[in-house]
Structure 1
């Protein structure tokens, strides 16, 4: 029986087991503990974070400049009208300079089917390229227009209608074209009302014969051209360097020729009277601008020309 008042020292079982475990299976127990510690100390590598520097977009290569426009000459064309219609910067002179090799030494000598370069784009008729839009914030919404009150809208409509009526009343009214005065039988008239711009027999290398075989009358494009005297149309159509032309045989055996017309209104074999409209002036064929080339010939063909002004004056025409 234990002595009274003495305390027994309790055995430390946990410590003994701990040391025993360490002695018998320390290596087996130590490895898991170290592995667990390592797992907590060095977590698995996280996936790579995206780079802070974003890839810059690759600039698109500049688009190749479009090829110059090409125009194919049709009957009735001339350099001046082509340049005006197509908006060629520099006019027919620049158009001729760009196509001198194709046209040749004479800027007036163009023919149907000839292909003309209208120059590099970006001229008078080309649209300017749009600038690249810059990134911007959200555009502000356009302020909404407040609908007018019904009475105000009606009043505004009445004012607009009245203003339109006033403008129409104030505009000059176009007068109808006056009919040509009748010409007495056997009489002669001038082919157009304009004066002479290039005289007969003027010398120059631009004419194949070395001189001007007729006279040029001032006539803007679309001017009515009249037969100088009664006669029969022997030809009406394309005449090469003369463009659209009409040739008329008169009662005295002479022939009148009207060249560079923009429009014909007679046909071969048709009878015409003095002063009758036979076509409209223009600049077709070998021509640098609108006018009327007029000849008087002793025969139907080129090379039989005589002084046209002297002939008309001999018929009583004042020029």
Structure 2
């Protein structure tokens, strides 16, 4: 009977070169995957990475099952690149929006400034035009008020100033006579205020006007009177009708220029009228 020899002990498996045991062991797959997901969760907390990380995690076909550590690293790199691109895109969009808002605000400010300047120029122009019109109106009114007209339109002097005759108590004519049929319109020669309107003795119905320059004019022998004391008159205003009242030999208008409203203060009426632009 053959004897049975005990088997030789099996040699212990050799340890792989370069690999040390104990606390320096490489982390397991589960631990590495947990770290990767922790990093992704941290990025997702920013509110930006969530939409980028999802597609990368949802593509298991791209993983290299033979090397889980390399596959996870690639995922982290892809996620990081996409996150950086997303952040850059958002930053560019924000800068673009800020620049557009700044440009819009600048354009609006320039438009407001241009509109305000245009309004100011238009108002200044309108004010200047109003002032010019007012000045022109005042000048026209001043000229009108300072304009003198003949007391009888289309007439002529029939008796001159200081003509001698026994018909006048002073022995000479204190005014000038304008030829006029009875009922001819008599006009104020200039601007003034009526100080006398009524019977004037030898002058018949007469009117005395204090002129704007302080002198006085008298209109005598009227057949009718159309103004009253205190009334303002302007050049050419009809004040009565010529006639033959008072001390006369026929109808005409007696016109005097005076330094006061009283008889005896007469001045040369022809020189007076000519000094105011009338050639009589």
TM-score scaled by length of structure 2: 0.48
Q: Larger Rg: 1 or 2?
A: 2
Flag the structure with more relative contact order, 1 or 2, with Cα contacts below 8 A and sequence separation at least 6: 1
Which has the larger share of helix? 2
TM-score of the aligned structures, taking structure 1 as reference length: 0.42
